[in-house]
């Protein structure tokens, strides 16, 4: 009987060693699953940031495109139109200035003509003096002719009344001939002077008409000059306004180019961040693929094997505790196979695993993010979910390898076992205390949990 009791004791110790080894392996697998889940969560977060950055880049691109299409192109089109209008106005003003120059040239020519006319007027004054001289001469000749005629008449009268014609004095005849010649000469001179006078009168009349016409032209030219001067002033004002508008548009173009450069710089910075995050995502995905491929379910455990298929795509960290119990984030769950399907106990019933993940994933992720923020860690990957969910090891600790919430092993010596240990080995342990807990669920099922604490002994 003593040998049987000793054999039972050794069997219990061996069973405990196997349980501890399985628990250790389970912890390692759970740790890998936790790291895998944290990496998946980091990838999801980076993907969300990537989506947000891509959206922001698209908005910036859209904003730049809209601004370029709606504002810059419109401003440039308006500027081009304004410049074309300004060039047209400049050409018109240049044409007006050329016309004004031609007008001034014509006026200069007219002024020269007027100066020539004034010179001619001075000559006309000389002609008038000549006319006066001729008139005086004509008057004098007319008087002389009259005197000669009177003398001739007197002589004729004397000849007519003289009965003694034969006795006419030869001197009187000569005097008569001289007077006749003188009269003829005076008549010819007077006719010549009369012809010159008429010619001068005609010339003066023509010059008077020409002068009146030139006066009218000069008056019209003065009016035209004033109009051209006003037009030139208006054109100068228009040119100044257009130059001011061109300067303002140039400043606006420089401002738009500066804004475009700033936007391009922001886009380049965001693109750089996007590339860095994409690189980080690829690295995390590679690590995630490696972590996923490294997960190995317990052979022969159908629940663990079926659950392993869902762990690969589950966004919430899942850690195996043993005995069908798992940590789903910070939620302790019990999984089993019911009617060929993997189900999870929820309340008083069960829910298929895919529906459970769909229902409670977001809730657990939000809880983990809040805890990560509270603990001051950058990612949920750095959290010790088992320590947070199960708390520090008590006197009736749940696992010899349990960790404190800070991630450190609890104080006291922890027994480790090797799968190669035998009953007769040198490393043995004896049970010092046993805690048994019986829990009855709402569905009528009874769950018994035993917690054992060992101390190491060496034979």
Q: Using CA atoms of 244, 250, 254, 255 in order, give the dihedral in degrees to the nearest 10.
A: 50
**In the chain, which stretches have pLDDT less than 50?**
291, 293, 393-438, 440-459
Is the entire prediction scored with pTM above 0.75? no
pLDDT value, residue 405: 40
Domain 17-296: give its CATH architecture.
Orthogonal Bundle (1.10)
For residue range 355-383, list pLDDT tens digits in order.
999 999 899 989 988 998 888 887 777 78
DSSP secondary structure letters along 246-305 = HHHHHHHHHHHHHHHHHHHHHHHHHHHHHHHHHHHHHHHHHHHHHHHHH--PPTT-HHHH
Query: What backbone torsions phi and psi does residue 164 show, to the nearest 5 degrees?
Result: -110, 85
CB within 8 A of 130, min separation 6: which ones? 200
Q: Using CA atoms of 166, 171, 176, 177 in order, give the dihedral in degrees to the nearest 10.
A: 110
Rg (CA), the chain: 67
Domains of the chain, by residue range, sit at: 17-296
pLDDT value, residue 418: 35
pLDDT value, residue 120: 63
pLDDT value, residue 341: 92
pLDDT value, residue 279: 83
pLDDT value, residue 19: 73
What beta strand segments (E) does 274-421 contain?
318-322, 325-328, 331-338, 341-346, 349-352
CB within 8 A of 51, min separation 6: which ones? none
């Amino acid at each position: 009987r003593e040998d049987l009791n000793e054999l039972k004791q050794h069997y219990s110790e061996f069973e405990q060693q196997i349980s501890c080894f399985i628990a250790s392996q389970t912890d390692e697998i759970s740790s890998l699953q936790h790291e895998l889940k944290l990496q998946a969560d980091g990838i999801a977060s980076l993907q969300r940031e990537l989506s947000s950055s891509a959206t922001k880049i698209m908005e910036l691109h859209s904003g730049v495109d809209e601004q370029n299409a709606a504002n810059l192109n419109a401003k440039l089109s308006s500027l081009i139109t304004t410049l074309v209008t300004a060039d047209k106005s400049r050409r018109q003003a240049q044409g007006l200035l050329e016309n004004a120059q031609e007008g001034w040239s014509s006026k200069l020519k007219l002024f020269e003509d007027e100066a020539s006319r004034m010179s001619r007027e001075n000559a006309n004054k000389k002609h008038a003096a000549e006319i006066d001289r001729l008139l005086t001469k004509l008057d004098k000749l007319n008087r002389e002719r009259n005197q000669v005629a009177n003398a001739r008449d007197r002589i004729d009268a004397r000849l007519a009344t003289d009965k003694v014609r034969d006795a006419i004095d030869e001197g009187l005849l000569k005097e008569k001939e001289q007077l006749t010649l003188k009269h003829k000469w005076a008549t010819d001179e007077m006719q010549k002077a009369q012809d010159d006078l008429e010619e001068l009168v005609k010339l003066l009349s023509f010059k008077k008409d020409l002068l009146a016409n030139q006066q009218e032209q000069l008056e019209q030219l003065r009016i035209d000059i004033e109009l051209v001067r006003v037009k030139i002033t208006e054109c100068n004002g228009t040119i100044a306004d257009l130059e001011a508008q061109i300067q303002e548009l140039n400043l606006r173009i420089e401002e738009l180019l500066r804004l475009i450069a700033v936007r391009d710089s922001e886009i380049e910075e965001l693109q750089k961040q996007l590339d860095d995050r994409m690189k980080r995502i690829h690295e995390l995905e590679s690590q995630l693929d490696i972590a996923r491929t490294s997960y190995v379910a317990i052979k022969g455990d159908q629940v663990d094997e079926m659950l392993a298929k869902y762990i690969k795509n589950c966004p919430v960290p899942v850690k195996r505790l043993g005995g069908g119990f798992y940590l789903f984030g910070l939620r302790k769950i019990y999984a089993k196979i019911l009617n060929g399907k993997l189900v999870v106990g929820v309340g008083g019933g069960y829910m298929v695993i895919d529906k459970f993940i769909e229902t409670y994933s977001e809730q657990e992720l939000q809880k983990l993010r809040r805890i990560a923020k509270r603990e001051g860690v950058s990612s949920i990957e750095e959290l010790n979910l088992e320590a947070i969910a199960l708390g520090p090891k008590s006197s009736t600790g749940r696992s010899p390898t349990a960790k404190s919430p800070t991630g450190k092993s609890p104080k006291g010596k922890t027994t480790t076992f090797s799968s190669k240990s035998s009953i007769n080995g040198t490393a043995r342990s004896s049970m010092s205390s046993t805690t048994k807990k019986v829990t009855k669920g709402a569905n009528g099922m009874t769950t018994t949990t035993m917690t054992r604490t060992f101390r190491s002994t060496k034979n």
